[in-house]
Amino acid sequence: MRTPLVVIGALLLPVALTLSAVAAVLLTGHGNCPRLSRPSLPGTRILAMSAVAHPDGMGARASRPGRPVASGVPAFCDVTIILTHPPLRDRVRIQVWLPQSTWNGRFQATGGGAFAAGEFERALVPAVRRGYAAASTDAGVPSTAKSPPVWAQRHDRPINDGLLANFAYRSVHEMSRIGKQVIAGFYGRPPAYSYFTGCSTGGRQGLTEAQRYPGDFDGILADAPAIAWNRLTLAQFWPQVVMNEAGTYPTACEFAAFNRAAIAACDTDDGRLDGIIGRPDTCRFDPGRLVGTSVRCHGRTIRISRVDADIVGRIWDGPTTRTGERQWYGLPRGASFSWLAGTTKPLFGPRHGAPFPVAADWIRYFLLRQPHLDVSTIGYAEFERLFEESQARYGAVIGSDDPDLSAFRAAGGKMITWHGLADPAVFPQGTVDYRRRVESAMGGGEATDRFYRVFLAPGVGHCSGGAGPVPTDPHAALVDWVEHDRAPDTLPAATTGAHPHLSGVLCRYPQQATAGRPCH
């Protein structure tokens, strides 16, 4: 899977240089960073490159007002590359952090979240702490996880297909290629092993790498993957559609009452009384059981109505066509409603929906191409049309759910996915569905387990949090599998909140732990 790399270097691009002179220019590092020559990548042009030494790790950066101190970070060089894809005129930023004396010989590329392709410092700090040369990219769509994808539209046509390709699949691959070249130039040798780690959007990016570029990484940690993005984003909007149609927007307190009742009813389905739903797929709690009961919310007593119960039931069931055909999965019982079924009460006027920004922006920017649209008008009929359009138009670009991983397997790659069963944003049943389809395509469960394993985490939210135990170091399990051929049957996990007694292990899918019995 690892191929010899040509040590090519880096480029500092002065404004006055002509393109013919650029090729001869070398980058001179600042501080203790060595001089590098510019990297090379077909289909791209390097616009700029810089290297900044941080001899005290994050000390100088962390001293700025408002920046938390990142302790334990060794001295490193921060190499930043700006590239473009002519004639797209995009500006893709790739950052590579290189430990100066603590490198463990490995490369770790990192993923993003929501519409952000990379998380940079947040992801790079822990990687460099562990001795990795690490990289992140913004895919040319500089945004945070919460900012809208204003890059989606361009002046001469509705969708900027080039930037969408960057975000969907191209830029992580290019980060892997350039990152390895920079590492080889800096240390005088390529990395012995290369890894990718990410959750949510990062999980989707990891799956995409295994599907499209199977030789990029020896190991991939693809957690809570935003799989089938073209369907998932619409399913994330489904709770708002249900409330729009009903004309009723329950409070978070009312939604929480349904979750408490579901947990009380299904807690012991796995044989354990631990305050979480161990098997939400088998929980059949009927929200209609709460009709007529009262809940105390912010000093008021609210009576649960049939409409409230119907809304909750539809949200749990997930989106369907008007004829009852399932389109995607719904919110797991026990998962918080606040992400996708958010509501708000203005100072003046009635309560209304507060949709999940990623879902609303996918509709506004990529489907309806109306950035300022009031999505509260979308009901069942329009939702069904939008769902079909999203599938047809974007499935091949950002679906990220091709089950044929034969090339990744042939390259010797290993992949681990873990997913919280109380995830309020990316439905875990989508991960289970993908794993089952991979089994069908790759010769069954046993054959798939040789290179791809899934672990489900009861009671855990999106990438972390919740009442259940969270994996403590899944990356270490991946490294052990890749480098020592020790495939993990369990992942050590622990809680840090109110349920420390739940610490233990997560079972390899499809195994489950029940009272008095380990994974079986």
Instruction: Check which CATH number belongs to the domain holding 415 and give it.
Output: 3.40.50
Do 216 and 236 belong together in one domain? no
Domain-located, residue 289: yes
HEC sequence for 138-195: CCCCCCCCCCCCHHHCCCCCCCCHHHHHHHHHHHHHHHHHHHHHHHHHHHCCCCCEEE
Task: Tell me if 210 sits within 8 A of 404, measured CB to CB.
Answer: no
Do 383 and 468 belong together in one domain? no
pTM for this one? 0.91
Q: Which residue type is seen at 196?
A: F
Q: Measured between alpha carbons, how far is 337 from 116 in angstroms, rounded to an integer? A: 23
pLDDT of residue 516: 62
Task: Tell me if 267 sits within 8 A of 273, measured CB to CB.
Answer: yes
Q: Measured between alpha carbons, how far is 445 from 159 in angstroms, rounded to an integer? A: 40
Count of residues for the chain? 520
pLDDT in tens, 90-111: 999 999 999 999 999 999 999 9
Task: Tell me the mean pLDDT in the region 458-464.
Answer: 95
- Domain tally for the chain? 3
Of 396, 429, 461, which residue constitutes the final position of a domain?
A: 396
pLDDT in tens, 31-84: 579 888 899 999 999 999 999 999 988 764 544 444 444 678 999 999 999 999
Checking if the pLDDT of 221 tops 60, the result is yes
Domain-located, residue 163: no
Domain membership of residue 36 as a residue range = 1-98+115-141+174-188
Do 255 and 314 belong together in one domain? yes
What is the chain's mean pLDDT, rounded? 90
Domain-located, residue 105: no
Do 349 and 209 belong together in one domain? no
pLDDT of residue 17: 29
Q: Measured between alpha carbons, how far is 184 from 263 in angstroms, rounded to an integer? A: 52
Coil, strand or helix at 490: strand
Q: From 473, 440, 474, select the one nearest 454 (Cα to Cα).
A: 474
Domain-located, residue 155: no
Residue 372 among the catalytic residues: no
Strands 92-99 vs 193-199: parallel, antiparallel or unpaired: unpaired
Do 74 and 10 belong together in one domain? yes
37, 143, 200, 390: which is the annotated catalytic residue?
200
Do 307 and 250 belong together in one domain? yes
Do 520 and 436 belong together in one domain? yes
DSSP assigned state of 466: B
**Residue 170 structure tokens:** 């191209």
Of 188, 211, 245, which residue constitutes the final position of a domain?
A: 188
Do 4 and 132 belong together in one domain? yes
pLDDT of residue 515: 66
CA 27 to chain centre: 34
Domain-located, residue 311: yes
Domain-located, residue 157: no
Contacts of 215 (CB under 8 A, 6+ apart): 1, 3, 407, 411
Task: Tell me the mean pLDDT in the region 283-288.
Answer: 96
Residue 50 among the catalytic residues: no
Query: Which residue would you say has higher pLDDT here, 31 or 15?
Result: 31
173, 274, 423, 475: which is the annotated catalytic residue?
423
Of 396, 427, 457, which residue constitutes the final position of a domain?
A: 396
Residue 155 among the catalytic residues: no
Do 390 and 421 belong together in one domain? no
End-to-end CA distance of the chain: 33
Q: Measured between alpha carbons, how far is 5 from 195 in angstroms, rounded to an integer? A: 16
Do 411 and 343 belong together in one domain? no
Task: Tell me if 193 sits within 8 A of 2, measured CB to CB.
Answer: yes
Domain-located, residue 178: yes
Domain-located, residue 109: no
**Where do we find the tokens 């361009």?**
154
Do 218 and 270 belong together in one domain? no
Do 119 and 16 belong together in one domain? yes
